[in-house]
Amino acid sequence: MPSLKHIKNRIKGVTSTKKITQAMKIVSASSLKNAEDNIINSREHLHVIEKILVSAYYKDKELFNDVIQNYNNDSVTDTLLVTFSSDKGLCGAFNSRVINKVILEINKGIKILCVGNKISQYMSGHFEEYVEHYIPFFCTKSKKVNLKQSVNLVNKIEKLFNNRKFGKCKVIYTRFSSVMNHNIEVINLLPINICEIEKKLNMINSYNQVFEFDGDLGSILDKLVSKYLNAVIFNIYCHSLACEHSARMLAMENATQNSKKMLKDLNLLYNRSRQAIITKELIEIISGAEATK
């Protein structure tokens, strides 16, 4: 049976851990609320950009196809796979689910652009030959999602496509539906499929507006395509961050409940051990008294 001192030290350690997990749960819950608000705002922004893009397509289909031709490298068969994970752990199976999905997608002609330290560390150790580039999830010390992150990533993707290195671009990320429901999504980012965009808008009854364009439509389209890509990537950043906070909140809640159960067991063990020691000492005292008679 372990000593009382050893049990007390374990109780002290588990109590300290419980306080940490409780604090992390509260922080994650607070961050999750902000992340959910960001998802709503970024989704509305994306839908507006998509509506403008569809309107531009019907305004001049030939010009639209000429502009997006810069992203249609039909002669190139290689695919760029952009993957989103977190920079830190302690978030349950959030990162492992993404990694498992990426492994299923790996084949000849695939190069991976890793966003997030966790997937970067795994891929560099197991599939380094497939990795095109590594970048952290957060590009600033503020640890908040902002448009600068999506702009930097889109610039990197556009540069790779302009250099004719890839013919397609897919994105793997975790989509937030609710606190308990996260889904791994694989979407085609490039080349742009205007029919799929219009179909999505019709499904959500969002395409009910026609935009008029003032000025050179070609110049507008050049900027519009980049803004569309930025909006998509920013929305993905928001979903991934919300899933990370949600997964960490649930993981810390489970850890807190486990620590409470462990404390209950340790306190019971401590009381039993102390009672056994007291009983033993009483027996020794009584035996000694009997021996002196």
Taking only the tens place, the pLDDT of each residue in 199-233 is 877 766 655 567 888 888 888 888 899 999 999 99
Say if residue 191 is preceded by a cis peptide, omega within 30 of 0. Answer: yes
CA atoms of 87 and 123, how far apart (whole Å):
14
- 3-class DSSP state of 82: strand
Taking only the tens place, the pLDDT of each residue in 22-38 is 999 999 999 999 999 99
* CA atoms within a 13 Å half-sphere pointing along the CA-CB vector of 9: 5
pTM beyond 0.75? yes
Asked if residue 231 lies in contact with residue 151, where contact means CB atoms within 8 angstroms, the answer is no
Q: Identify the structural domains of the chain with CATH numbers, from first to last.
A: 49-251 (3.40.1380.10)
Q: Which one of 206-210, 215-219, 242-246, 274-278 scores highest in mean pLDDT?
A: 242-246
- Among residues 139, 100, 137, which one has the least CA distance to residue 122? 100
Place of tokens 């920079």: 87
